[in-house]
Amino acid sequence: MSTQPAIPGVRPVLAAVEGMATSDGAGVSMTRMLGTPRLRTLDPFLMLDLFGSDEPTDYLAGFPDHPHRGFETVTYMLAGRMRHADNHGHEGVIETGGVQWMTAGRGLVHSEMPEQTEGLMRGFQLWINLPARLKMTDPRYQEFPAASIPVEARDGGTTVTVIAGDTARGTAGPVRAEATDARYFDVTLPPSASFVEPLPAGHTAFLVLFEGTLTVAGDAPLAGPLTGPRVIVLGDGERVEATAGAEGARFLLLAGQPIGEPIAWGGPFVMNTRDEVMQAFRDFEEGRI
Ligand code: FE
């Protein structure tokens, strides 16, 4: 927790939380960064998994057919390839550097399976909640390969890959996330480089440090540079400021408008009430999805 006086306009660091090793799907080893006993949810963000291994036994089992309803899943591949297929005939491969932003809406059943059988597989899957008015919307995909995702070059070799939302300098990501006005940036800082980015006041915001070390303005003065993988939760303010350590740093910057509604979460379904979750299970069992 931050104990130093607030820097005017800078979002303070509220918490810096390490991920927890977990297993999901048919036995995929991963690090759960958000949606754990240490860090349950950050409205509108529900869950974040970091999968990363060069051991095929850690990922080959993949995620066979499973349903979703009531939120969005965002898969961003840092390395390797993931094939997906759903019960409406939508199918494809997310290649290295590519993103799939899936609005599950009223529901679908899909599989997510590694396309490769050897080598490094690494990426993130984020779950973003939907407001009640959109939970039963038609399923929708926004999919982009690396070549369609702009990279904003800043002074000194800093790069910002803009997946969703707009940077303050005007680079627009290809994904439009109207429901939560979400921003999803992948930031790479050379050693000792600094990063400053204004963010809308009132948006939930956090960094996900996954390479190198980072000092975030507004952190406790004696905390020193942070290491990853770690979620750095920011309080409210006008902007985030961070400086890489001697090894440089790479992190996600995620921000979105809180929904502020009750969350009823049952496995792959995230609704507002327990009855709605039970209905989702019944619909799935009876094939109404
Ligand atoms: Fe899924």
Could you read off the pLDDT of 80-126 as tens digits, one per residue?
999 999 999 999 999 999 999 999 999 999 999 999 889 999 999 99
Q: How close is the Cα of 63 to the center of ligand 1, in Å?
A: 7
Q: Please report the pLDDT score of residue 91 as a whole number.
A: 97
Measured in whole angstroms, how far is the alpha carbon of residue 115 from the centre of its chain? 21
Q: Please report the pLDDT score of residue 116 as a whole number.
A: 87
Collect all residues with Cβ–Cβ distance below 8 Å to 89 and sequence separation of at least 6: none
Q: How close is the Cα of 68 to the center of ligand 1, in Å?
A: 7
Closest residue by Cα to residue 189 from 252, 97, 124, 232:
252
Tokens 């979620």 belong to 231
Q: How close is the Cα of 267 to the center of ligand 1, in Å?
A: 11
Tokens 């800093």 belong to 158
**160-189 pLDDT, tens per residue?**
999 999 999 999 999 999 999 999 999 999
Q: How close is the Cα of 188 to the center of ligand 1, in Å?
A: 28
Closest residue by Cα to residue 210 from 101, 76, 100:
76
Distance from C-alpha of 248 to C-alpha of 252, rounded to nearest angstrom: 14
Query: Whole-prediction pTM value?
Result: 0.95
Q: How close is the Cα of 102 to the center of ligand 1, in Å?
A: 9
Q: How close is the Cα of 76 to the center of ligand 1, in Å?
A: 13
- Cβ distance 269 to 46 under 8 Å? no
Token pair, residue 253, equals: 């910057």
Token pair, residue 155, equals: 């002074």
Q: How close is the Cα of 141 to the center of ligand 1, in Å?
A: 13
Q: How close is the Cα of 174 to the center of ligand 1, in Å?
A: 21
Q: How close is the Cα of 66 to the center of ligand 1, in Å?
A: 6
Q: Please report the pLDDT score of residue 222 as a whole number.
A: 58
Q: Profile the chain (289 residues) by mean pLDDT over runs of 10 residues.
A: 68 95 93 96 98 92 96 98 96 97 96 92 97 97 98 97 98 97 98 97 97 90 83 96 97 98 97 98 91
Q: How close is the Cα of 110 to the center of ligand 1, in Å?
A: 6
Measured in whole angstroms, how far is the alpha carbon of residue 192 from the centre of its chain? 25
- Cβ distance 81 to 118 under 8 Å? no
Q: Please report the pLDDT score of residue 223 as a whole number.
A: 66
**Domains, in order of start, for the chain:** 13-285 (2.60.120.10)
Q: How close is the Cα of 129 to the center of ligand 1, in Å?
A: 14
Q: Please report the pLDDT score of residue 1 as a whole number.
A: 47
- Cβ distance 199 to 183 under 8 Å? yes
Q: Please report the pLDDT score of residue 219 as a whole number.
A: 79
Q: How close is the Cα of 67 to the center of ligand 1, in Å?
A: 7
Q: How close is the Cα of 229 to the center of ligand 1, in Å?
A: 22
Q: How close is the Cα of 199 to the center of ligand 1, in Å?
A: 29
Q: How close is the Cα of 94 to the center of ligand 1, in Å?
A: 13
